[in-house]
Structures are given as C-alpha cells and as structure tokens.
Amino acid sequence: MTTTEQAPSGANIGTRKLRKEDPKLLTGEGKYVDDIHAPGELWMGMVRSTMAHARITGIDTSAAAEADGVHAVYTGADLADMGLWAAPLPCAWPVTADMVNPPHYPVANGEVHHVGEIIALVLADSRYGAADAAEQVVVDYEPLPVVSSIAEARDGDATAHSDLDSNKAYHWPLVPDPDALEAAFANATHVISAEFEQQRLIPAAMEPRGVLAVPSPHGGDITLYSATQVPHILKVMVAATTGIPEMKIRVVAPAVGGGFGAKLNINPDEILAVTLAHRLGRPVRWTETRSEAAFSTHQGRGQLQKIEVAADENGKIGGVRVHIDADMGAYMMLITPGVPLLGSFLYTGVYDVPAFGFTCDGYFTNLTPTDAYRGAGRPEASFAIERAMDLLAARVGVGPDEIRRRNYLNGGEAFENLETASTLVFDSGNYAPNLDAALEMAGYADLRAEQQRRRDAGESKHLGIGLCTYVEICGLAPSRALGGLNYGAGGWEHATVRFLPTGKVEVVSGSTPHGQGHETAWSQIVGDKLGIDPDDVTVLHSDTAISPLGMDTYGSRSLAVGGVAIAMACDKVVDKARLIAAHQLEANPDDLEFAGGAFTVKGSPDKTMPIQGVAYGAFTAHDLPDGMEPNLQEQMTFDPPNFAFPFGTHVCVVEIDEETGNVELLDYTAIDDCGNQVNPLIVEGQVHGGIVQGVAQALWEGASYDAEGNCRNPSFLDYLVPSAMEVPSLKLGSTVTPSTSNPLGVKGVGEAGTIGSAAAVINAICDALSPYGIDDMPMPATPARVWKAIQNAKGGQS
Amino acid sequence: MQVEMTVNGRAMSADVEPRTLLVHYLRDHLGLTGTNVGCDTSSCGACTIHIDGESVKSCTMLAVQARGAEVTTIEGLASNGELHPMQQAFMECHGLQCGYCTPGMVMAATSLLNENPKPSEHEVREGLEGNLCRCTGYHNIVKAVLSASGQGGS
Ligand code: FES
Ligand code: FES
C-alpha cells in the first residue's frame, strides 16, 4: 500500500516526541570516553611515522624511556616479541577469494606504509607526559617509493608495499548479462561517458576517538570503553586479534559523539589498549587529537569513477556501464574493500535500466586507509548516475526533470517488490509524486524564470538549479545477501523486551546509537506496541555485558532492523501476556482483545486486566497456566528478508559570482521518502545533517595529499568542515511509501541526506555555468576552481 | 602550582602544571567533564565556557590565566533542576544529536543573546561561526537560538 500523504500513527509512532537523551547531554552529564577515568591509568602516546613509505632502520627510545612519568616504551618489534598478537587487525570483507590483504598489525615492524602509522608507543602517567615522551623517540628511515594517488597506484611502477609486485588488491565484477549490455551500447543513439573523482574525505565526528581499557588482573577480565559504533563487533575482533577469550571481554560504547562510519572500525589503539592493560594489569587509555585523526581514523570515499549511459533518441536509457578504481589506502581495514561495492547496485539509480554492468578494481596507496563514511559507496553511486542524467538531458535537449521522468522505474508510478537490472529487488517506490512535491516546494518554475531573466540581462551572478533523485540501500542486511557478498558476519539485530515487576519496561537493543535518538524512537515503538507510556520505557544498549547480542549501528540499519526486532519482541510479549490474562480472567485467549494496554474479554468490558497487572502476575508466578515460565520477557532476532530502499528528490539552488567563482547556496529543498516515520523530528535532524555533509563534499572538503604522501590539511585550520555561516536553512518535506521489507514499513534515513546532496550541488553549479559550455566541476568546487573554469571557458570562446 | 578560581559559583582549587590548559584543568582536575575538546587548533568551540560573563574557548588559555576569575561551565547553567531557557530551546528544536558540540554551542549561544537579545538568523549564524557541529547541519541549532530569543516558535 502506498500513500504519499501521511505516516500512519499510533499514539506515539509518527509523533514528534522530544528526545529522552537530551537533558543529560545538554547539562554535561553525558559521559564520553575521555570523561571516564580509572585509578592508576596509563596514557598511551603514539610515535607516528613521518614518512608514507619507508623501511625503519633504527628507533631510539632511550630519551623517552628516561623521561619523568614514563612507564614503558614499546616498538613494533618489542610487541611482537612479547607475543601480544594472535592475529593481525581484521578485514571482515574479503570481497574475492584472491583479494590481496597485507598483514596489518597495530604497530609497524620493519616497514611503514602511510604517514601516521604507529611505529612505537609510550605509556606515561599523564596526558601531557605521554605526548611529550612520544616526541622524544627518534626514528631513522630509509625512504621507499611512495604511491600517493589512485592513478599512481594503477599506472605507476612503485608499489605501496615493497613485497607486493602490484598495487591491485582485487577485481570485482557485477555484470549480470554481458551480451545485453553490449547490445544496449551498440544500439544506442546517445552514449554519455563521464569520469568523476570522489575525493578522500576526513569524517570528522566532533568527538575524537578514544579508548580506555580497564583490566581485572586476577580475574582476567577486561573492560574496553571505546568511542565506537560497533561494540559487539569490536568484542569479537578483540578476542580474535589478542587471543583473550571472548567471554572475558566486555566492550562499552558510552556516550559517543558522532560516528558517520568513522567509528565502525577495529583500530590499532583499541587493540593496544586492551593487550597492554591485560598484560600490565593497569588501565591504559588514549584520546585522539584532532590533527592526529587524519592518520589514526580511516577516511571516506577515494574513487575514480567512469560511467557510460546508452540511450535512445528520446533519452530512454538502454544500458549503464560503470568502472571504478578505488583507493584502499595502505591496508584493508574492517570493510575497506567492500565499501565501493555497497554502491555497485545503485548505479542504476531510480531508473528503468534494462542492461547493467559494474566493475571495480581496488588499489593500495601509501595513504591513510579508507573505509565507511556516511553513505559508504552509495553517495558515490548516486553522484555518478545523477550527474550522468543531467549530461543526458543536455544531450537530448530536455530538462533535468523531464529526463528523469522518462526513465523512472515503473514509469514513475507506485510499485512494490520490483526487480532491477542490478539484481536487487526494490521494496517499494513511487518516484514521480516525490519529484513533483520537491519541484513545487522549491518553486522550480519561478527559479527557471529568474535564471532566464538573469541570463537575458547578462548579470554576473548566475543562478543554478540542481536536481538529484536518489535511491539508497538501507536496512543492512539480509544475512544471506551478506553471505553472497562474502561478508564475514550476518545482518540481523537482536532485541529483548521485559516487563519489570512494577510495570515499567526495559528494552535491550543490539543497535548502538551515537546521536540518532534510539532511546526515544524505541520507546515510541514500545509505547504503541504495549499500550504504555513511552516514558515508562528504558532502553539499554551499547554495553556487551548488558546487551550481549548485537550487530550495531551503520548503514541506516538501526530502525529497519533493530527497531523492527523490538516491535516483534513486543508482539511476543503481548502473545504471552494474552495467555496469562486469559488464564486469570478464565477466558479463551482468542476471546481477549488487547487495546490501550489492557486485555478485555470481548463483550464483557468489566472483565479486563492491564498488561502491567499481567506482568506482576508473571513475576509472582503464583497463578500461571501449567508449564508456563515465570516473568514477562521475550527476545527477537530479526533477519530482514530484503533491504529497504528509501528515495527522494533534492533541489539545490546556487548563485555563482562570475568575478570570484564563489558558490553561494541560496536555497535547498529535500523531499525524502523513508517509508513510515517513527519520529519526524528525528528524521528531519538526520536529513539536515546528512545534507550538509554531502554539500560539504561538493563545496569545501577533501583530504589533499602531496607527492610524498603527506596530508596537507589534517587539522580544522585547513580542512573545511562547514560552520553555520556556510549553510542556509533547509526546506524539508516527505512522501511516505511504506517498505515491504518489514512489518513497520520503515526504511531508514541516516544517510539519505548525504546520498542526495553532493550531486544536487554539482548539478546546480553546472546548470548555472551551462551558458559557458561548462558541464563538469571537480569536487570540492572551490572558488578558485570555479573561477578558473569560467576563465578557461571565456578564453575558449574568444 | 596551585590555581584557584570560582567555577559555577563555588571556589575551586587544584595543583597543576603551569602549562595546563584551562579546559584540562576543568575536565581532568576538577572533574567537570561537560566541557568537551573537539580539536587542537582552537577551531571547533566544543570547549566554550564563560569567563566573567564572556564566552571563551577554554582550550585557548592556560588555567593560570583564569586565576581568580568567575567561570561558568555547562554544568552551571541549569538551576534548581530546571534547564536554562537556551537548553530548553535546544531540546524543543532538536538542536542536538550526539551532543558533543552541544555544551560549547549552548554556552556560545547564551553569550550571543546576552550581547544581542534579538539577533536575525544571519546574526545567529555569524555569532556561532566558531562552533562546529557535524550532526545537525545547524538548521535546528539556529532555530533553537532564535526560539530562545523569543523569535519564532520551536
Ligand atoms: S577544543 Fe577548543 S576550540 Fe576546539
Ligand atoms: S550534535 Fe553532534 S556534533 Fe553537534
């Protein structure tokens, strides 16, 4: 059933409930890792490589070892000799059987492969002492040839690892029907061919990463506090890399200050803190500095894309062919090789593409490893196809809205469970009304008129209007699908829902929030399902001792998998409660109605029992049906049968000053469709933040490297995370097309904004500059780049 | 060395190295961990507090430079169990997600309204330029500050 009007709402689901999380966070009560201390803690100070590729010929630790307050100094060789590693740092996604995966240990031993790789570390009794002592370690290097870009990795002679003869890590094809693809291009009237660079991005969550490992020396247990999105995965991986038995390990993600994918890895510092604390019997900690984060936390994107679109004379697409060269960086981190492939299925966008082919080559460089960053592969895909659609529109001579309408899946009309050429089955969609809503809210016709007026008047401030009609894959993921992609884990999520004796409810969730408002949203779901006040619900999460089963938070999966698991656990609670109520009311279970939090015998309104009363009865267990277990608590592990495919239309309006090349965002409209909404307030917040991150890729951000592999802009002084000054207020709306992949009809929204926005901005810029014949603009579209493009175009005209 | 100051209305003192930054004095020595650290270049504003009523990035000065000053941190803003109107506005407008920038943002915003009680949207954006947020895209933060100034509802 598709509606475009409103979300279905219970008393709570669909309402703009204010967040439960906020009072703590607003008053400084929230505890992030760096706020937590343990008696006797030692601080790690990292000695990081200043060279991108070199042999380490000597390390002098003597001055550091003698410094005041220093407990120990370790080199990579020392740690290897101590036998601390059971296995290298993990890559959970070997995308092909022959993928190259050089061993990656927390501390380099012999050869370094990127600037900032850890060479040695000190343990000192204070934050400042650790930093000082680390600076006193002297390292001698013998430089090796540096691979500082994807192009060099692909075309040059140097190898990023001296023991490899090639930089190529893997080749991954997805070409369901090669003959059909070839025929599509052979028969095409128009072939659009374009290349784009997805520059590297520094994720820059506002809370730097940090760890604190607290051992219990006699019991052998260890607790790791980490600023992580993935405590459950981290726990398994700590066991695998250190050999500490898994049941001795507890991982806690306390308040986490944003993640965006950057906190879903297994990092050297986490493993070092655990092993050293375990070995020394003392707490060990570390907090990343912002300037260090460009090296100590993975980066996002890093792709060269080539997309070709074959179309007939009307612009109707016959085929799409894509090739990507992807920058892995120096090592395979947790899901590094899989990130570009997450986008592979989306290069057909929201369009009816009869034939499709995608290939990806992964390459090693001597740069910080890449991995997931908000959208992870999907913003890249959306960018390429949405840029190509605008190029196709120009070629055919129709507007960007019209070219999209001509190609929408199912003719732009509502559909359910539709198979696409990229082999996935889209759960539901209804694209044309979504586009209409966006164009109307943006005032598209007036904008075009104003654009024409400026052009006719020869004004130097050009107006550009950019569209992006994106789709994304959320609800990661059906475990079987992950198995098919050779991913090393499942995609389910776990929930426990339990009534406490006093009628309050405790929910234990395996998904791990870091700003998304799970406590509020989950309480709303439980409130409606159990007919109770959401404020009578508490949500426990992010601590493996409390929530032992979980697959954590990434890929816009929390609601569509974790939230659904909670709803289903609630259904089980009601089922059990019904049996108890029927027993105590001396009625047939089928004759009971459950509404408003109470069971009532149909036709006998006075024979009723609130669910809290049932819960108390289940707790005392004085009068339960024969053989029934006491207590009212149920568990659910939900493995989604399919992904969810949210979609939407973004309309970006820019003004470009011809004199300076400055791009000003005048207006931004987004109509997103994430299926049913649990809390529109939270949905809007996710979209706002996502849009600005995507806009930032288009206009300001990009990790820049010199030929020696040095990052030129690691700190906030020169890596331009936007402030409130750079961005306008955003106009949001939504359509609602419920998902068929889960009983709540929800799709997920965490990454939507980012997936739609970069293409909308660059399309707007190219639209503004189209009179100059400009149809491409590299990201970030800095004033210098835009100005130069205009000058070149003018030069070319004269 | 011994450094004393009044923090959130109480006389406080700690023995610290002379080079201790004010933000670390508050966090590591007084245990007031509400004030956050988001960078090492005085760029992000996560550490914003009030010194003698003015907003200051507490990573840009040494603890000794604040000797004898009246310091207010995020922990000192709510009173008698009631959120400060700015905190309330942030909550009502969903002006925070992960909350990491929030203490600094709220402190900067209250000081902004002290100086300019009825700012325009542009003035709010300009006034918060030194405070970075990666989660909210600023839309709801700006809305919260305007709402706290009595302009526009939540
Ligand atoms: S921590 Fe003070 S400005 Fe960033
Ligand atoms: S709320 Fe997360 S950085 Fe602002």
Backbone φ/ψ region at B45: left (φ over 0), alpha (ψ -120 to 50), beta: left
pLDDT at A690: 97
What is each CA distance from A171 to A16, A66, A157, A163, A323, in whole angstroms? 46, 50, 19, 20, 10
Q: Residue B34 CB: number of other CB atoms within 10 A?
A: 25
CA A28 to chain centre: 27
How far apart are the CA of B35 and the centre of ligand 1, in A? 10
Residue A377 — left, alpha, or beta (φ > 0 → left; ψ -120 to 50 → alpha)?
left
What spacing in Å lies between the alpha carbon of A689 and ligand 2's midpoint? 9
pLDDT (average), residues B73-88:
96
Which of B20, B58, B97 is the best substitution to test chain A (most A C-beta atoms within 10 A)?
A: B97
Q: Would you state the pLDDT for residue A556?
A: 85
Spell out the residues 6+ positions from residue A56 whose beta carbon is closer than 8 angstroms to its own.
Answer: A76, A108, A109, A110, A111, A112, A119, A139, A140, A141
Interface test with B, best of A16, A31, A206 (most B CBs within 10 A): A206
Q: Is the CB of A258 under 6 A from ligand 2?
A: yes
- Per-residue buried b or exposed e for A470-485, using 16+ beta carbons within 10 Å of the residue's own CB: bbbbbbbbbeebbeee
How many A-B residue pairs are in contact by the CB < 8 A criterion? 178
Ligand 1 and B76: CB distance under 6 A:
no
Separation between Cα atoms, residue A385 and residue A470, nearest integer Å: 9
- Does ligand 1 come within 6 angstroms of the Cβ of B39? yes
Amino acid letter, residue B154: S
Closest CA to A205 of A403, A372, A395: A372
Structure tokens at A720: 């331009």
Q: How many whole angstroms from B69 Cα to the centroid of ligand 1?
A: 20
> What residue owns the CA closest to ligand 1's atom 1?
B37
CA of A359 to the centre of ligand 1 (A): 43
Give the tokens for residue A588. Answer: 């047939």
| Facing A515 at nearest CB: one of B103, B130, B135 | B135
Classified as helix, coil or strand, A414 is coil
Q: Is residue A441 classed as helix, strand or coil in its secondary structure?
A: helix
- Alpha-carbon span A3 to A645, nearest angstrom: 16
Contact between A212 and A228 under an 8 Å Cβ cutoff? The reply is no
Report the candidate in A586, A49, A613, A489 with the shortest Cα–Cα distance to residue A230: A489
What ligand is nearest to the CA atom of residue B131? 1
Nearest Cα neighbor of A754 from A379, A477, A398 is A379
Cβ(A513) – ligand 2 distance below 6 Å: no
Which of B34, B36, B132 shows the shortest C-beta gap to A723? B132
Residue A460 in contact with residue A657, Cβ under 8 Å?
yes
Interface test with B, best of A16, A21, A27 (most B CBs within 10 A): A27
A252: three-class secondary structure by DSSP: strand
A702-732 pLDDT, tens digit each: 999 999 999 999 999 999 999 999 999 999 9
Cross-chain residue pair B134–A31, CB shorter than 8 Å: no
- Residue numbers in B near A258 (CB within 8 A): 97-98, 100, 134-135
The C-alpha of B68 sits at a distance from chain A's nearest C-alpha, in angstroms, of 23
Tokens 């799970």, residue? A518
Residue A97, judged by CB atoms within 10 A of its CB (0-12, 13-18, 19+), counts as exposed
* Predicted pLDDT at A4: 37
**Number of neighbouring beta carbons within 10 Å of residue B104:** 30
Tens-digit pLDDT profile for residues A452-502: 999 999 999 999 999 999 999 999 999 999 999 999 999 999 999 999 999
Nearest CA in chain A to B100: A257
| Percentage above 70 pLDDT, chain B | 99
The answer, yes or no, to whether any atom of ligand 1 lies below 6 A from the CB of B66, is no
**Strand-strand pairing, A111-112 and A54-60:** antiparallel
Whether residue A477 has a cis bond before it, omega within 30° of 0: yes
Sheet holding A537-540, edge to edge: A537-540, A505-509, A493-499, A633-638
Closest residue (by CA) to atom 2 of ligand 2? Answer: B98
Q: How far is the CA of B99 from the centre of ligand 2 (A)?
A: 5
Give percent above pLDDT 90 in chain A.
96
Residues of chain B contacting residue A686, judged by C-beta atoms under 8 Å apart: 97
**How confident is residue B153, by pLDDT bands cut at 50, 70 and 90?**
low
Interatomic CA distance for residues A470 and A351, integer angstroms: 10
Tens digit of each residue's pLDDT (9 = 90 or more) over A645-690: 999 999 999 999 999 999 999 999 999 999 999 999 999 999 999 9
- E-strand ranges in A227-354 read 249-252, 284-287, 303-311, 317-329
Q: What are phi and psi of A573, to 5 degrees?
A: -60, -45
The candidate with the shortest Cα–Cα distance to A690, out of A650, A656, A719, is A650
pLDDT, mean of residues A34-52: 98
Task: Flag whether pLDDT at A798 surpasses 50.
Answer: no
A281 to chain B nearest CA, in Å? 23
Distance from CA of A212 to the nearest CA of B (A): 15
User: How far, CA to CA in Å, does A796 sit from each of A788, A789, A792?
Assistant: 12, 10, 6
CA of B136 to the centre of ligand 2 (A): 6
Is B132 a residue whose pLDDT tops 80? yes
pLDDT at position A2 is: 36
Looking at the CA of A34, which ligand is closest?
1
Q: Using alpha carbons, select from A440, A427, A441, A435 the residue that is nearest to residue A407.
A: A435
Q: Is the CB of B96 under 6 A from ligand 2?
A: yes
Closest CA to A754 of A393, A416, A300: A300
Ligand 2 proximity of A745 Cβ (cutoff 6 Å): no
- List the one residue out of A168, A150, A162, A164 whose CA is nearest residue A56: A162
Work out the minimum CA distance from A615 to partner chain B, whole angstroms: 33
Q: Is A696 on the interface with B (CB under 8 A)?
A: no
| Conformation bin of residue A62: beta by default, left when phi > 0, alpha when psi is -120 to 50 | alpha
| CA-closest candidate to residue A277, choices A66, A621, A38 | A38
Q: A204 vs B136: CB contact, 8 Å cut-off?
A: no
Average pLDDT, chain A: 96
For residue B91, the chain A residue with the least C-alpha distance is A22
Which whole number is the average pLDDT over A602-616? 96
Nearest ligand, CA of residue B132? 2
A555 — pLDDT class (breaks 50, 70, 90):
confident
Distance CA A304, CA A291 (A): 26
Cα A519 to Cα A512: distance, rounded to the nearest angstrom = 10
B137: CA distance to ligand 2 center in Å?
9
Q: Which three-class secondary structure string do you get for A693-741?
A: HHHHHHHCCCCCECCCCCECCCCCCCCCCCCCCCCCCCEEEECCCCCCC
Q: Which residues pair with A213 in a beta bridge?
A: A224, A284
* pLDDT digits 0-9 by tens, A403-429: 999 999 999 999 999 999 888 999 999
CA-wise closest residue to A303 among A389, A390, A382: A382
What CA–CA distance (Å, rounded) separates A711 from A79?
28
Helices B85-92, B139-148: crossing angle, 10 deg rounding: 140
| HSE (side-chain half, CA atoms, 13 Å) at A498 | 13
Q: Which residues contact A609 (CB under 8 A, 6 or more apart)?
A: A581, A584, A585, A598, A599, A600
Asked if residue A241 lies in contact with residue A87, where contact means CB atoms within 8 angstroms, the answer is yes
Confidence of residue A3 (pLDDT cuts 50, 70, 90): very low
pLDDT of residue A423: 85
Alpha helices in A488-538 (DSSP H): 518-530
> What pLDDT score was predicted for residue B154?
43
CA atoms within 13 A on the CB side of A707: 3
Kindly state the average pLDDT of the residues A368-397. Answer: 97
Q: Per-residue pLDDT averaged across B59-72, rounded?
A: 97
Regarding the beta carbon of B135 and ligand 2, being less than 6 Å apart is answered: yes
Cβ–Cβ gap B135/A289 under 8 Å: no
Q: How far is the CA of A515 from the centre of ligand 2 (A)?
A: 8
Enumerate residues 31 to 50 of chain A having a beta carbon within 8 A of any beta carbon in chain B: 31-32, 34-35
Q: How confident is the model at residue A795 (pLDDT cuts 50, 70, 90)?
A: confident
Q: Which ligand is nearest to the CA of A206?
A: 2
Please tell me which residue of chain A has the smallest CA distance to B78.
A27
Residue of B nearest to A294 (CA): B39
If pLDDT is split at 50, 70 and 90, which confidence band does A6 have?
A: very low
Give the DSSP H/E element, type plus range, for residue A760.
helix A752-768
Neighbours of A577 (CB within 10 A): 25
Q: Which residue has the tokens 């380099």?
A: A108
Inter-chain touch A127–B141, beta carbons under 8 Å: no
Contacts of B122-126 with CB under 8 Å at 24 or more apart are: B124/A724, B125/A723, B125/A724, B125/A725, B126/A725
